[in-house]
Every structure is written in structure tokens, then in C-alpha cells.
């Protein structure tokens, strides 16, 4: 399931050219993933209360077109590969005209007690909603 997240680009997030600064795309992705987890009723704090974490292992980033100051960005997030130990998210960022501006593959590991581990079925049932 694809989850949409919308956010305005503010001046403090931009570089001297009025583009969203490249580092701030990672913040945008994190916000969108966190909202997606909240939307499926498994916010990060609930996951942590259950003793689980989701650690980012790797990013693949493609900057396609700049997002500009004051534009409303739409981030589309989905899990494209999922097993009980890790997942791969696809997150795509669009400008108000619907143009693809940025694409990221985010590789995450499911962690329990500081080590990668297989999530139990009760947590798996939430993750599968995003696949």
C-alpha cells in the first residue's frame, strides 16, 4: 500500500539557490516513513515499547529535479520487499505539478535487543499493510 505524505518546503530547509537542500531530503523521508507507520497503527514509540527498532542499513538516492522554496512536496512511501528480518522501502518525492523530483530505496533491518531478528507475527501483521 502506498502512503502519501505532504509537506511544504520552508526557507530554512533550502540552499542558496532556493532548492530543498540535499540533506533535508533524508529528513523528509524519515517524516514520511514515521507517518506511514503511524497510519498503520504502529508508530515508532509503540514499536520501541514492544522492544523493537527499525534501523536503516542503506540508502540509494536519485536526485531527479529540485524541489523549490514554498512548494508542497508529496512523498509516496511503500515497502517493496519485505521479510521478517528486513525490508526495502521505495520513497518517491513529487512537486505540485506531479513531477518526480527524488527517489530513494531505503533498506532497513528489524532489530530486537540490539541485534537483527525476525519480527513476531503480531508485528508482521502491521508491516504487511505497507507492502
What is the count of structural domains for the chain? Answer: 1
Beta bridge partner(s), residue 6: 74
What angle is formed at CA 85 by the lines to CA 131 and CA 126, rounded to 5 degrees?
A: 40
Q: What is the pLDDT of residue 131?
A: 87
What residue has cell string 515497502?
Answer: 79
d(CA 39, CA 16): 35
b or e along 17-40 (b: 16 or more beta carbons within 10 Å of the residue's beta carbon)?
eebbeeebbeebbeebbebbbebe
Q: What is the pLDDT of residue 1?
A: 87
Domain that holds residue 32: 3-130
Supply the CATH number for residue 122's domain: 3.10.129.10
pLDDT in 10s for each residue of the chain, 131 residues: 899 999 999 999 999 999 999 999 999 999 999 999 999 999 999 999 999 999 999 999 999 999 999 999 999 999 999 999 999 999 999 999 999 999 999 999 999 999 999 999 999 999 999 88
What residue has cell string 520501541?
Answer: 48
Amino acid at each position: 500500500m502506498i502512503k502519501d505524505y505532504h509537506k511544504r518546503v520552508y526557507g530554512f530547509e533550502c540552499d542558496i539557490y532556493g532548492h530543498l537542500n540535499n540533506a533535508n531530503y533524508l529528513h523528509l523521508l524519515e517524516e514520511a516513513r514515521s507517518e506511514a507507520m503511524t497510519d498503520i497503527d504502529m508508530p515508532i514509540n509503540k514499536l520501541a515499547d514492544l522492544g523493537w527498532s527499525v534501523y536503516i542499513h542503506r540508502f540509494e538516492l536519485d536526485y531527479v529535479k529540485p524541489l523549490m522554496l514554498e512548494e508542497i512536496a508529496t512523498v509516496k512511501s511503500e515497502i517493496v520487499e519485505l521479510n521478517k528480518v528486513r525490508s526495502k522501502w521505495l520513497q518517491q518525492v513529487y512537486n505540485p505539478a506531479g513531477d518526480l523530483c527524488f527517489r530513494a530505496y531505503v533498506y532497513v533491518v528489524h532489530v530486537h535487543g540490539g541485534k537483527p531478528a525476525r519480527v513476531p507475527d503480531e508485528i508482521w501483521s502491521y508491516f504487511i499493510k505497507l507492502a
